[in-house]
Protein backbone atom coordinates (compact mmCIF):
# COMPACT_ATOMS: atom_id res chain seq x y z
CA UNK A 1 0.00 0.00 0.00
CA UNK A 2 1.19 3.51 -0.82
CA UNK A 3 0.15 6.71 0.97
CA UNK A 4 0.08 10.17 -0.63
CA UNK A 5 -0.41 13.13 1.73
CA UNK A 6 -2.07 16.33 0.51
CA UNK A 7 -3.08 19.50 2.37
CA UNK A 8 -6.51 20.84 1.34
CA UNK A 9 -8.42 23.70 2.97
CA UNK A 10 -11.93 22.34 2.46
CA UNK A 11 -12.86 18.88 1.31
CA UNK A 12 -15.91 16.90 0.27
CA UNK A 13 -14.48 13.45 0.97
CA UNK A 14 -17.06 11.63 -1.15
CA UNK A 15 -16.55 13.91 -4.15
CA UNK A 16 -12.76 13.65 -3.90
CA UNK A 17 -12.96 9.87 -3.64
CA UNK A 18 -15.15 9.73 -6.79
CA UNK A 19 -12.76 12.01 -8.70
CA UNK A 20 -9.76 9.92 -7.66
CA UNK A 21 -11.49 6.69 -8.69
CA UNK A 22 -12.39 8.23 -12.05
CA UNK A 23 -8.71 9.01 -12.63
CA UNK A 24 -7.14 5.80 -11.25
CA UNK A 25 -9.99 3.35 -10.70
CA UNK A 26 -7.91 0.24 -10.14
CA UNK A 27 -5.34 1.80 -7.82
CA UNK A 28 -7.34 3.93 -5.35
CA UNK A 29 -8.07 2.25 -2.02
CA UNK A 30 -9.56 5.25 -0.23
CA UNK A 31 -9.19 8.65 1.42
CA UNK A 32 -8.61 9.35 5.12
CA UNK A 33 -9.15 12.73 6.77
CA UNK A 34 -7.85 13.74 10.19
CA UNK A 35 -9.17 17.25 10.83
CA UNK A 36 -9.04 20.72 9.38
CA UNK A 37 -5.36 21.49 9.94
CA UNK A 38 -3.90 18.11 9.02
CA UNK A 39 -3.06 16.62 5.62
CA UNK A 40 -5.35 14.01 4.15
CA UNK A 41 -4.09 10.56 3.21
CA UNK A 42 -4.90 9.08 -0.18
CA UNK A 43 -4.32 5.35 -0.17
CA UNK A 44 -3.13 3.57 -3.32
CA UNK A 45 -2.49 -0.11 -3.90
CA UNK A 46 1.03 -1.49 -4.09
CA UNK A 47 1.18 -1.30 -7.89
CA UNK A 48 1.02 2.55 -7.82
CA UNK A 49 4.16 4.27 -9.09
CA UNK A 50 5.46 7.85 -8.96
CA UNK A 51 3.37 8.86 -11.99
CA UNK A 52 0.23 7.59 -10.23
CA UNK A 53 1.15 9.54 -7.09
CA UNK A 54 1.63 12.68 -9.19
CA UNK A 55 -1.75 12.12 -10.87
CA UNK A 56 -3.42 11.76 -7.46
CA UNK A 57 -1.80 14.99 -6.25
CA UNK A 58 -3.11 16.76 -9.38
CA UNK A 59 -6.66 15.52 -8.85
CA UNK A 60 -6.52 16.57 -5.20
CA UNK A 61 -5.14 20.02 -6.08
CA UNK A 62 -8.04 20.54 -8.52
CA UNK A 63 -10.63 19.38 -5.96
CA UNK A 64 -13.58 21.72 -5.44
CA UNK A 65 -15.75 20.81 -2.46
CA UNK A 66 -18.89 21.94 -4.29
CA UNK A 67 -20.38 18.66 -5.46
CA UNK A 68 -23.25 17.97 -7.84
CA UNK A 69 -25.03 14.62 -7.90
CA UNK A 70 -27.96 13.53 -10.06
CA UNK A 71 -30.25 10.53 -9.80
CA UNK A 72 -30.30 10.16 -13.62
CA UNK A 73 -27.76 10.78 -16.35
CA UNK A 74 -30.39 11.81 -18.92
CA UNK A 75 -34.05 12.75 -19.17
CA UNK A 76 -36.50 12.01 -21.98
CA UNK A 77 -36.78 14.66 -24.69
CA UNK A 78 -40.28 15.81 -25.56
CA UNK A 79 -41.89 13.86 -22.74
CA UNK A 80 -42.70 14.58 -19.13
CA UNK A 81 -39.64 13.49 -17.21
CA UNK A 82 -37.54 14.81 -14.36
CA UNK A 83 -34.28 14.29 -12.53
CA UNK A 84 -33.17 15.26 -9.05
CA UNK A 85 -29.94 17.23 -8.80
CA UNK A 86 -28.32 17.65 -5.40
CA UNK A 87 -25.90 20.50 -4.81
CA UNK A 88 -23.55 20.34 -1.84
CA UNK A 89 -21.60 23.54 -1.25
CA UNK A 90 -19.39 22.98 1.75
CA UNK A 91 -17.17 26.04 1.38
CA UNK A 92 -17.46 28.31 4.36
CA UNK A 93 -18.60 31.73 3.16
CA UNK A 94 -19.38 30.45 -0.34
CA UNK A 95 -20.83 33.05 -2.70
CA UNK A 96 -24.53 32.86 -3.54
CA UNK A 97 -25.43 31.28 -6.86
CA UNK A 98 -28.41 30.24 -8.92
CA UNK A 99 -29.43 27.17 -10.87
CA UNK A 100 -31.54 27.35 -14.02
CA UNK A 101 -34.01 24.51 -13.85
CA UNK A 102 -35.97 25.34 -17.00
CA UNK A 103 -39.65 25.59 -17.91
CA UNK A 104 -42.08 25.34 -16.17
CA UNK A 105 -39.98 25.74 -13.01
CA UNK A 106 -38.41 29.14 -12.36
CA UNK A 107 -34.77 29.55 -11.44
CA UNK A 108 -34.01 28.70 -7.85
CA UNK A 109 -31.59 30.70 -5.77
CA UNK A 110 -29.42 29.33 -3.00
CA UNK A 111 -26.91 30.76 -0.59
CA UNK A 112 -25.01 29.89 2.56
CA UNK A 113 -22.71 27.07 3.52
CA UNK A 114 -25.15 24.29 2.64
CA UNK A 115 -27.74 24.85 -0.01
CA UNK A 116 -30.68 22.88 -1.28
CA UNK A 117 -33.79 23.49 -3.33
As a whole number of angstroms, the distance between CA 82 and CA 27 comes to 35
Q: Which of 35-39, 54-58, 69-73, 98-102 has the lowest mean pLDDT?
A: 98-102
Contacts of 93 (CB under 8 A, 6+ apart): 113
As a whole number of angstroms, the distance between CA 115 and CA 96 comes to 9
Task: Output the pTM of the full model.
Answer: 0.57
As a whole number of angstroms, the distance between CA 104 and CA 94 comes to 28
As a whole number of angstroms, the distance between CA 22 and CA 99 comes to 26
Q: Where is mean pLDDT largest: 7-11, 15-19, 80-84?
A: 15-19
Amino acid sequence: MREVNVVLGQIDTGALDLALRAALAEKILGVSTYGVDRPISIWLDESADDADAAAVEGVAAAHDPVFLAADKTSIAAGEADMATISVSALKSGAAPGSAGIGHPRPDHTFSGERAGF
